[in-house]
Structures are given as structure tokens and as C-alpha cells.
């Protein structure tokens, strides 16, 4: 029997509290999930730690690609320090070369700076031309897990590829399916993959309350909000699968 854990990604204080209330096993703390997640501000990190459940901070200093400059590296090192100072359990890292391969030189510097913290390799992995090479690099760099959609826009679209990645990992690190993992899609993943953890926003869509904010470009027409009831339901689904 495998105890399947649930990681919930959040990008504000309300989402943090909703994830904890709903029973998340781990939280990925971000800003701006609408662009895939950026580094949360120090205030949110401080609010999150030390938390009742492990919290990992996304370390991504800007939207766009994962090809980072020396200046980006300086910022990321300081953000790792902020996560450590806040008492968070870990960080979520990734860096790419222009051709999509993992930037192992950059990642060596980042993982070295994050020594003592837990480490997740984020979906920069999904851009690599060769999953086998990237997997071996992740193992060598000391990552605990890889968050991946199998190279597709969403994990449910790449179940067969994810199965290949699971096989290649051979228990050396965890493969955590993420992107598009919802109450409607998680059963398909669980029926074909022997997962130890899944990643989900457990969110609901809600419209913007003030149309003027949309008109002025301050918010999108609707947003995703972490929902404690959805977290609880997802946890129940995972527990039911674990008990089989």
C-alpha cells in the first residue's frame, strides 16, 4: 500500500491557509501562478514558516523562459536565503540552456547554495530534449523529486511518457505528476501510474468582482482560488487509492 501525498501550489496567503485547512501534505509557495509560478515575496515566505506542513518556495525570479543570467543567479541565491531564513522546508528550482537542456552549471550553483533544504526540480524538465539525460542530471544534483507533466501541456495528456519516466527513475527520486491534475483527471493518472505524490492547485475559478479592474489590466477576467473543500476531496481520492 502506497500513501499518496498531495502537494498544493498556492500564490497568496488565503491559498496557503486553504491548503493547510484542506489537509495538504506539502505546499508549493509561489507568486503569479497565472504565469507558471514565480518566487513569493519575503512577507509571504515569513507568513508561511515555520508551517504545520512542509512548504517549498518556488525560486523563479521572473516570468518567461528558464535561461537565467548571472544577475538572475544573484537574485535566486538571495531568494533561497529568504526561504531558509523563513524556516521553509525547501525550494523549487530549475534552469535551462537555450536548447532546452538542463543548465547543470547553473543548477550546481543553485543546489549548492540550497544545501540543507529540500529540493524539487520544476517543469523546466518538461522542455528537455532527452528525459534520460535530464533524469540522470537531476539524480546527480541531489533533487528529491521532479515535478513534470511528461513534456505535455498537462500530465493527463502524457500518461504513457510519465510511465517511462517513472521506470527510469527506479526509485532514486520521486516523480510527481503536475499540471492539469484535477478531481476530474486524477483517477486516470492513478489507474495507470504508481505514484507516491501528485501536484495540484486544487482551485476553483471565480470571476473578477470589479469589471474596472479587468478594463484597467490589473486582473484577468477570472482567477483561480485555492479551495479547501477541493483539497479535502482530492485528499480523499488519494487516500482511497492508497487503501487499495
Mean pLDDT of 72-84: 98
The interaxial angle of helices 104-113 and 70-85, nearest 10 deg, is 30
The total number of structural domains in the chain stands at 1
Mean pLDDT of 32-54: 94
The predicted structure's pLDDT at residue 1? 58
Mean pLDDT of 162-170: 95
pTM above 0.85, yes or no: yes
CA 194 to mean position of chain CA atoms:
19
3-state secondary structure of 168: helix
The predicted structure's pLDDT at residue 205? 85
Q: For position 205, which CATH number holds?
A: 3.20.20.380
The predicted structure's pLDDT at residue 216? 72
Q: What is the 3-state secondary structure (H, E, C) of the chain?
A: CCCCEEEEEECCHHHHHHHHHHCCCEEEECECHHHCCECCCHHHHHHHCCCCCCEEEECCCCCCCCCCCHHHHHHHHHHHHHHHHCCCCEEEECCECCCCCECHHHHHHHHHHCCCCEEEECHHHHHCCCHHHHHHHHHHHCCCEEEECCCCCCHHHHHHHHHHHHHHHCCCCEEEECCCCCCCCHHHHHHHCCCCEEEECCEEEEECCCHHHHHCCCCCCEEEEECHHHHHHHHHHHHHHHCC
The predicted structure's pLDDT at residue 24? 98
Mean pLDDT of 57-71: 97
CA distance 1 to 243: 6
The predicted structure's pLDDT at residue 210? 76
Q: Are 149 and 180 in contact (CB under 8 A)?
A: yes
| Cell, residue 201 | 492547485
Q: Note the pLDDT tens digit of each residue in 102-150.
A: 999 999 999 999 999 999 999 999 999 999 999 999 999 999 999 999 9
Of the chain, the percentage scoring pLDDT greater than 90 comes to 86
**With 90 as the cut, is the pLDDT of residue 217 above it?**
no
Of 49 and 177, more confident? 177
Beta-strand relationship, 203-207 and 222-226: antiparallel
Residues paired with residue 206 on neighbouring β-strands, in sequence order: 223
Identify the domain containing residue 189 by its residue range.
Answer: 5-242
Q: Are 37 and 9 in contact (CB under 8 A)?
A: yes
**In the 8-state DSSP scheme, what is residue 97?**
-
- Going by pLDDT thresholds of 50, 70 and 90, the confidence category of residue 244 is confident
Amino acid at each position: 500500500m502506497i500513501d499518496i501525498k498531495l502537494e498544493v501550489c498556492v500564490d497568496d496567503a488565503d491559498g496557503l491557509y486553504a491548503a493547510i485547512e484542506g489537509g495538504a501534505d506539502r505546499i508549493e509557495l509561489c507568486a503569479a501562478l497565472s504565469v507558471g509560478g514565480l518566487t513569493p515575496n519575503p512577507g509571504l515566505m515569513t507568513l508561511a514558516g515555520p508551517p504545520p506542513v512542509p512548504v517549498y518556495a518556488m525560486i523563479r525570479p521572473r516570468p518567461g523562459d528558464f535561461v537565467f543570467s548571472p544577475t538572475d543567479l544573484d537574485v535566486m541565491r538571495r531568494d533561497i536565503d529568504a526561504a531558509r531564513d523563513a524556516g521553509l522546508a525547501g525550494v523549487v528550482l530549475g534552469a535551462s540552456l537555450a536548447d532546452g537542456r538542463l543548465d547543470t552549471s547553473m543548477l550546481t550553483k543553485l543546489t549548492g547554495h540550497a544545501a540543507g533544504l529540500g529540493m524539487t526540480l520544476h517543469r523546466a524538465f518538461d522542455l528537455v530534449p532527452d528525459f534520460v539525460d535530464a533524469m540522470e542530471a537531476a539524480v546527480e544534483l541531489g533533487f528529491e523529486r521532479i515535478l513534470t507533466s511528461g513534456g505535455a501541456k498537462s500530465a493527463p495528456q502524457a500518461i504513457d511518457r510519465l510511465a517511462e519516466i517513472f521506470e527510469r527513475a527506479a526509485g532514486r527520486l520521486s516523480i510527481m505528476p503536475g499540471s492539469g491534475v484535477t478531481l476530474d483527471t486524477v483517477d486516470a493518472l492513478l489507474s495507470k501510474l504508481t505514484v507516491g505524490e501528485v501536484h495540484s492547485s486544487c482551485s476553483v475559478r471565480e470571476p473578477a468582482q470589479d469589471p474596472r479592474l479587468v478594463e484597467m489590466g490589473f486582473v484577468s477576467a477570472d482567477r483561480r482560488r485555492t479551495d479547501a473543500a477541493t483539497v479535502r476531496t482530492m485528499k480523499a481520492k488519494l487516500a482511497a487509492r492508497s487503501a487499495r
